[in-house]
Amino acid sequence: MDPLSDVLSLLKPHSYSSGGFDVCGELSMQFPPHEGSIKCYAVIHGECWLAVEGVPDPVRLKTGDCFLLPSGRPFRLASDLSLTPIDAMTFFANKRIGGIHSFNGGGDCFIAGGHFAFTGNHASILLGVLPPIVHLRKESDKAALRWSLERMRQELLDPQPGGFLVAQQLAYMLLVQALRLHLAEGLKGGVGWLFALADKQMSAAMQSMHDDPAHDWTIQKLAERAGMSRSTFALKFKETVGVSPMEYLTRWRMLLAGDKLENSSDPISVIALSLGYESESAFSTAFKRVMGCSPRQYSSGRRPATPARSEADAVGANQPEPVAG
């Protein structure tokens, strides 16, 4: 798989909320914090304001716009930000028709999408490299999202057998497409694994490591994959990703190891070998350095409250600018 698919697979995002809400008239809704998860919605039709706590400027959302909220901060959706907000849960107690919560019959602003939780323990790998608001509003972005949005609209307005699962998968597709479009913007100026994917040379090296993490990679081999000299590659990788190629590889291997320790019955020796370590002791030393505890402690749930390295840092993530679009 490619690195973005690898990270999403490791995090195991699942939608525990997918659907939409249709509003008629003026309304202001306040949403609570949603730490460790990401909200992904799109405006099917209409317009409204989005205000996220800690972000100075509100965002005007228009028909076809898609937005991600990865920071977990409280936020507000409103036709007019001067209105006194109501609790979103109060709104969602209103009558539901199919997969849609309706207010005053709807018709003015229809928003649909999903709220994704992460099954894995490393949500900050993804959430830590995204700004508080990812706002996709270019016409080319809207065109790329149009099919998914139209299918979701049809599923929500006219529920069919299996519609719940279809809506969930469409919401997941919307999330992946939004991340892909955000990545296509170039993410200039940032440092971290996600930013590096926008660079073809760095992406080629990362793809190689993700395709075969157990391989005996060297800087020279990775530089050849990137089509660069060894010294130039090493310097650019560190500048772009935030860590050296070998450090990135080790950290990715340890994240994969942590997932195997949690979700498989493989012994530590087998996991070590599958990730390129011939010695269980060498593997255990690397694991403890990166994850902050031994493999046995990790598998038994006895993990440190603060890992040796933050999970976002585990793949070279740095904090982005406050708002992207």
Total-model pTM: 0.80
Is the Cβ–Cβ distance between 213 and 286 less than 8 Å?
Answer: no
Verify that 154 and 237 share a domain, yes or no: no
Instruction: Please work out, in degrees rounded to the nearest 5, the angle formed at the alpha carbon of residue 289 by the alpha carbons of 320 and 232.
Output: 55
Q: How many domains does the chain have?
A: 2
Q: Which two tokens stand for residue 180?
A: 């892909």
In the prediction, which pLDDT does 107 show?
Answer: 86
Dihedral sign from CA coordinates of 163, 181, 206, 251: negative
**Residue 252's closest CA among 213, 283, 216, 217?**
213
**Residue 112's closest CA among 31, 18, 20?**
20
Verify that 10 and 130 share a domain, yes or no: yes
Distance between CA atoms of residues 236 and 219, nearest Å: 12
37 three-state secondary structure: strand
Verify that 130 and 230 share a domain, yes or no: no
Q: Which domain holds residue 53?
A: 3-185
In the prediction, which pLDDT does 18 show?
Answer: 75
The answer to the question of residue 320 being in a domain is no
The answer to the question of residue 307 being in a domain is yes
The answer to the question of residue 39 being in a domain is yes
Verify that 164 and 222 share a domain, yes or no: no
Q: Would you tell me how many other CB atoms lie within 10 Å of the CB of residue 305?
A: 5
In the prediction, which pLDDT does 251 show?
Answer: 94
CATH code: domain of residue 282 = 1.10.10.60
Distances (CA, A) of 86 to 27, 51, 75, 301, 322: 8, 14, 12, 40, 26
Verify that 71 and 172 share a domain, yes or no: yes
Radius of gyration of the chain (CA): 22
Is the Cβ–Cβ distance between 103 and 94 less than 8 Å?
Answer: yes
The answer to the question of residue 37 being in a domain is yes
- Point out the domain boundary residue: 185, 219, 234: 185
Please report, in tens digits, the pLDDT of each residue of the chain (325 residues total).
789 899 988 888 876 677 888 888 998 999 999 888 899 999 999 999 999 999 999 999 999 999 999 988 999 999 999 999 999 888 777 656 556 788 887 889 999 888 888 876 678 888 888 889 999 988 988 888 888 888 888 888 787 888 778 888 888 888 888 888 888 775 566 678 888 888 899 999 999 999 999 999 999 999 999 999 999 999 999 999 999 999 999 999 999 999 999 889 999 999 999 999 999 999 999 999 999 999 999 988 766 654 554 444 545 444 444 444 4
Q: Would you tell me how many other CB atoms lie within 10 Å of the CB of residue 85?
A: 16
